[in-house]
Structure 1
Amino acid sequence: MTVQTETTRLPAAIAAGDYAIVSITKHGTQLARNIHAVFPGSDLYYMKKFEQGDESGRGITLFEGSVRLLLPELFAKYKGLILIISLGAVVRMIAPILKDKKTDPGVVVVDDKGEHVISVLSGHIGGANELAREVAALIGAYPVVTTASDVQKTIPVDLFGRRFGWVWESDEKLTPVSAAVVNEEKVAVIQESGETNWWMYDTPMPENIHLFSTIKEALAAEPAAALVVTHRELEKAEEAILANGVLFRPKVIVLGMGCNRGTSAEEIEQVIAETLNELKISMKSVKAIATIDLKKDEEGLLETAQKYRWDFVYYGPDELNQKEITQPSETVYKFTGAYGVSEPAAMLCSGSNELLLAKKKSGNVTISVGLISYS
């Protein structure tokens, strides 16, 4: 198949993978074909004049004209770009189409001989650093990564906890906090919840990184910057730590839920919001809704879980009855076969018999709140 780059339009069906490999030279085309053959989830594009006859069968896209006109379309379609083009040319071509490091794809450049793979754009958030390492390993090349936190083997603030699903409350202080980390200023890491195995290197943690279990202790140490990991809302006095700090929300909250048949998603969401507000817990830290298997098709629960991208977990009555609960109900048992739903479901899903909220009934909804512990 052939794409005329003058139109800058690509058939929607072409973009089947997450990564695009692009080449514009004879030697680069062979290298691109080799990478494409062993790199899962990749689509290959090269110039029609290097056509070898098997492109249609291998799902390879040929183009004519300037590759510069092809790049805006690829930027919009792919998670990452592997460009076998000179670094200088790539910089000039992508400069006009750059938007934001949170939305631009990761871009790596491979030299024509396949000796170096350079992370060019969106090294952390766009994943170009990891992409460079993966491609280099496939072709026996040397990965070139210049991101300071990678070179110095310290905390990449914009990716901190990302593999666990952590999200930041605000990105306002990402840049100054990152600067403090790589400039070896005193940085506090305060962790109250979430996965504890976040240190990713086989070397000791840098001496400028200090660990604290409470914000009060960290404030007393007067750090230049801070990374705070907690599911709870901060007290007024604690907010001072965010003067040059980033607040991360780990996915540690489980909502055990029961409801009457046909309860709307709006009512369920309202009860969740009110309950978490009462407990001073961030909704961004919710990981899952847990319930009984009789509710696995309950539209209100499913719609809420899907809206917030929470896990939806359910258990059979026998599993729920294994847990000792505060308010077993014969009425609930009569209709469900379980002596309770929200409370034991929260226990099972969180892995803890100690709940932040044992049980609350509000309108058509019953809710319990559990905390997943990694200590």
Structure 2
Amino acid sequence: MIELQEGILPDIHVRHPYAIVAITKHGVQMGRELQQSFASADLYYMGKFTKGDEEERNIQLFNGSVRLLLPALFKQYKGLILIISLGAVVRMIAPILVDKKKDPAVVVIDDRGEHVISVLSGHLGGANALTHEIANVMGAKAVITTASDVQKTIPVDLFGARFGWVWDSEEKLTPVSASVVNEEHVAIVQETGEKNWWMHETPMPKEIIIYPTIKDAIQAEPQASLIITDRLLQPSEEILLENGVVYRPKSLVLGMGCNRGTSLDEVEAVIDETLIELQLSKKSVKALCTIDLKKDESCFLAITEKYGWEFVTYTPAELNEMPLPNPSETVFKFTGAYGVSEPAAMRYAKTSDLLLQKKKSGNVTISVARLSF
């Protein structure tokens, strides 16, 4: 619990680029739902609205006036999403404004969730793009008053953020954004991930072209590129990164089993080794799945908490419903399931295909599946 005191900056735990703040009952529920859909944000709300699952969901509670929380958030977040009345927000942020080159984006949502309003740092801070993203997630109306906000295109630093996509490196965000804004030839290659990322009612600008493969994009010689994939790029493909950004959609599912008491270090080493062998990005992992006998396994709880992955368990009956490539009578004898890692990954990903069938390494078994979109 964060105890807010006058004149003392509170100690906050920053995990993502954006912060959602709520101070009313309706606002808290809205914020909880928004955090589930907009994975790039941390959530803060008043302690009196505790639901009991805040620690598990990495939600931060506070006691005291939200006015005392905002200076710390201003210093450490790229943008603030405040489910607070516009007038109150204006009064609270006025004393802590610096200038448009340094202030974070500030977006306000009304208590009914009908309007998302760009309040501060619309262009340079990205509030206008953030407003569109949040409004799209919520099915609300975006309110932007900047007269020059006429370009309806891709916000490079927020591309796919509402789906939980993350970029590999921020190094090229600014030059790629410049290419988009300046209507240069921009290539998009999407190998996996959600397909409904275009959020405007108007067609995509003609300068932004979707290519079926990275090879096609390289041959087209674009001035910038956006690549959506869970693969590690090969050296021959990295020419697109001279002015390009790689986005990692949450597309990979780890099915795992382990001996009781296996260490976090061993589990993580097996995951890292496996993903490197498969040439897949750890940033694209969405969930770790196992049998419900392992729901309290400390190494699984620790690794999923560390990386913000979903931790999902299934009953033996649920696992046995999946078509197993390698059923085991021994595993059935001890668990009631004919397999753990393979059916767990397949069940979550809703597929019978695996990128990796069961691999045994020390105390750990692992399988990998890819979500289809």
Q: For the superposition of Structure 1 and Structure 2, which TM-score range results when normalised by the shorter chain?
A: 0.7 to 0.9
**1:144 maps onto 2:145 in alignment:** yes
**1:343 maps onto 2:342 in alignment:** yes
Residue pair 1:321, 1:344 contacting (<8 A) in 2 also? yes
2:244 corresponding residue in structure 1: 245
Counterparts of 2:119 and 2:239, CA distance in 1 = 36
What pairs up with 1:1-375 in 2 under 5 angstroms? 8-9=7-8, 18-19=20-21, 72=71, 75=74, 79-80=80-81, 84=87, 94-95=97-98, 104=104, 106=106, 119-121=119-121, 122-124=125-127, 127=130, 143-145=144-146, 151-374=150-373
Distance 1:249 1:61, change over 3 A: closer
Q: CA deviation at 1:9?
A: 4.4
Distance 1:19 1:309, change over 3 A: closer
Residue pair 1:289, 1:311 contacting (<8 A) in 2 also? yes
Q: CA deviation at 1:265?
A: 1.1
Q: CA deviation at 1:107?
A: 6.0
Amino acid at match of 2:371: I
Amino acid at match of 2:297: E
Counterparts of 1:73 and 1:311, CA distance in 2 = 28
Counterparts of 1:173 and 1:163, CA distance in 2 = 20
Output one character per residue of 1:240-298: Cα deviation in whole Å (capped at 9) or x when no partner: 00000000000000000011111111111010000001000010000000111111111
5+ long unaligned stretches in structure 2: 12-18, 32-43, 46-62, 109-116
Q: CA deviation at 1:332?
A: 0.3
Counterparts of 2:321 and 2:135, CA distance in 1 = 49
Distance 1:70 1:328, change over 3 A: closer
Q: CA deviation at 1:131?
A: 7.8
Counterparts of 1:323 and 1:133, CA distance in 2 = 36
Counterparts of 1:355 and 1:192, CA distance in 2 = 17
Counterparts of 1:129 and 1:277, CA distance in 2 = 36
Counterparts of 1:259 and 1:288, CA distance in 2 = 16
Counterparts of 1:344 and 1:302, CA distance in 2 = 20
Distance 1:153 1:352, change over 3 A: same
Q: CA deviation at 1:97?
A: 10
Output one character per residue of 1:72-95: Cα deviation in whole Å (capped at 9) or x when no partner: 45735993467659x9xx889622
Q: Which has the larger radius of gyration?
A: 1
5+ long unaligned stretches in structure 1: 22-35, 44-58, 64-68, 109-116
Counterparts of 2:310 and 2:347, CA distance in 1 = 14
Identical aligned residues as a percent: 54
Counterparts of 2:275 and 2:156, CA distance in 1 = 27
Residue pair 2:211, 2:217 contacting (<8 A) in 1 also? yes
Counterparts of 1:131 and 1:261, CA distance in 2 = 42
Distance 1:107 1:218, change over 3 A: same
Task: Classify the secondary structure of the residue corresponding to 1:197.
Answer: coil
Amino acid at match of 1:95: V
Output one character per residue of 1:100-129: Cα deviation in whole Å (capped at 9) or x when no partner: x7xx35267xxxxxxxx6632233499466
Counterparts of 1:314 and 1:132, CA distance in 2 = 33
Q: CA deviation at 1:305?
A: 0.9
After TM superposition, the score normalised by the length of structure 2 is 0.72
1:25 corresponding residue in structure 2: none
Task: Classify the secondary structure of the residue corresponding to 2:144.
Answer: strand
Residue pair 1:177, 1:225 contacting (<8 A) in 2 also? yes
Task: Classify the secondary structure of the residue corresponding to 1:144.
Answer: coil
Distance 1:9 1:154, change over 3 A: same
Amino acid at match of 1:268: V
Q: CA deviation at 1:145?
A: 3.7
Residue pair 1:129, 1:145 contacting (<8 A) in 2 also? no
Distance 1:306 1:322, change over 3 A: same
Output one character per residue of 1:317-351: Cα deviation in whole Å (capped at 9) or x when no partner: 11111122221110000011111100111111111
Distance 1:367 1:95, change over 3 A: same
Distance 1:337 1:182, change over 3 A: same
Alignment length (residue pairs): 317
After TM superposition, the score normalised by the length of structure 1 is 0.72
Residue pair 2:256, 2:290 contacting (<8 A) in 1 also? yes
